Amino acid sequence: MLISSFLDSPPSSATTSPSGTPPSSTLSEPMSSVPSTSSESCAVCGDVVNGKRYGAPACLGCIVFFRRAVINKSQYKCWKKGNCAITFAIQRRDLLGPRKPKALFTGGSVDLSQSLEVAMNFSPSPTSSGDSDNGDSTFDIEALIHLQRDQRAQHEAYSIHQIDTIGCVQMKTHGKYHRRARADDINFVLKLGLENANEWGNQFDPYRNLNQREKNLILSEFGFGFLLIDQGYKTAQRADDGFWLLQNDTFMHPDYFFALSEEDAGKDNAQQKAEFHYTFVNELVKCVSEPFKKLQIDEFECAILKTVLLLTPSFPGQVACRDIEELHNKCMSELMEHSAQKSPGNGPERFGEIILLISSIRCGVKAIYNQTRVSDIFHLMTFDPCVRNIFLS
Lowest mean pLDDT among 84-93, 306-315, 346-355: 84-93
Domain shared by 124 and 32, yes or no: no
- Asked whether residue 66 falls in the same domain as residue 115, the answer is no
Q: What is the residue type of 60?
A: L
62 plus 151 within the same structural domain: no
Residue 317 C-alpha from the chain's centroid: 27
Residues 86 and 161 in one domain: no
Least confident of 158-162, 175-179, 342-346: 158-162
> Are 64 and 197 contained in the same domain?
no
* Element of type H or E holding 347: helix 347-371
Domain final position from 37, 71, 96: 96
- Angstrom distance (rounded) from CA 172 to CA 51: 32
Quick one: pLDDT band at residue 378, thresholds 50, 70, 90?
low
**Whether residue 34 is found in the same domain as residue 183:** no
Looking at residue 147, its pLDDT comes to: 94
Q: Give the lowest-confidence range in 184-198, 222-236, 285-299.
A: 184-198
pLDDT at 41: 85
Domain count, the chain: 2
**What b/e readout covers 119-128, taking b as 16+ CB neighbours within 10 angstroms?**
bbebbbebbb
Same domain, 178 and 261: yes
Q: How far apart are CA 224 and CA 117, in angstroms?
A: 16
CATH number of the domain where residue 66 is located: 3.30.50.10
Q: In angstroms, rounded to a whole number, what is the distance separating the alpha carbons of residues 383 and 368?
A: 13
In sequence order, the β-bridge partners of residue 178 are 169
pLDDT exceeds 60 at position 105: no
Phi-psi region of 251 (alpha: psi -120 to 50; beta: other; left: phi over 0): beta
Q: How confident is the model at residue 304 (pLDDT cuts 50, 70, 90)?
A: very high
pLDDT-derived band at 167 (thresholds 50, 70, 90) equals confident
Residues 261 and 388 in one domain: yes
Name the least confident of 157-171, 173-187, 317-331: 157-171
The confidence band for 177, taking pLDDT boundaries of 50, 70 and 90, is confident
pLDDT band per the 50, 70, 90 thresholds, residue 290: very high
Domain of residue 17, residue span: 1-96
> Tell me, what CATH number does 121's domain have?
1.10.565.10
Question: Is there a single domain that holds both residue 83 and residue 127?
Answer: no
pLDDT above 50: residue 33: no
Name the domain boundary from 72, 96, 120: 96
Element of type H or E holding 214: helix 212-238
In this prediction, residue 279 carries a pLDDT of: 92
Vertex 57: Cα angle to 42 and 8 (nearest 5): 100
Alpha helices per DSSP H over 177-211: 183-201, 205-208
206 and 112 within one domain: yes
Q: What is the pLDDT of residue 8?
A: 38
Last residue of a domain, one of 62, 96, 130: 96
Report the pLDDT value the prediction gives residue 388, as an integer from 0 to 100. 75
Q: Lowest mean pLDDT: which of 42-51, 119-128, 159-168?
A: 119-128
- Pick the closest to residue 384 from 161, 180, 109, 159 (CA basis): 109
Please check whether residues 65 and 163 belong to one and the same domain: no
The mean pLDDT of 272-289, rounded to a whole number, is 92
What are 113-124's pLDDT values in tens digits? 344 444 444 444
Question: Could you give the CA distance from residue 266 to residue 261 in angstroms, rounded to a whole number?
Answer: 9
The region of weakest confidence among 74-88, 244-258, 274-288, 309-323 is 74-88
Does one domain contain both 11 and 108?
Answer: no
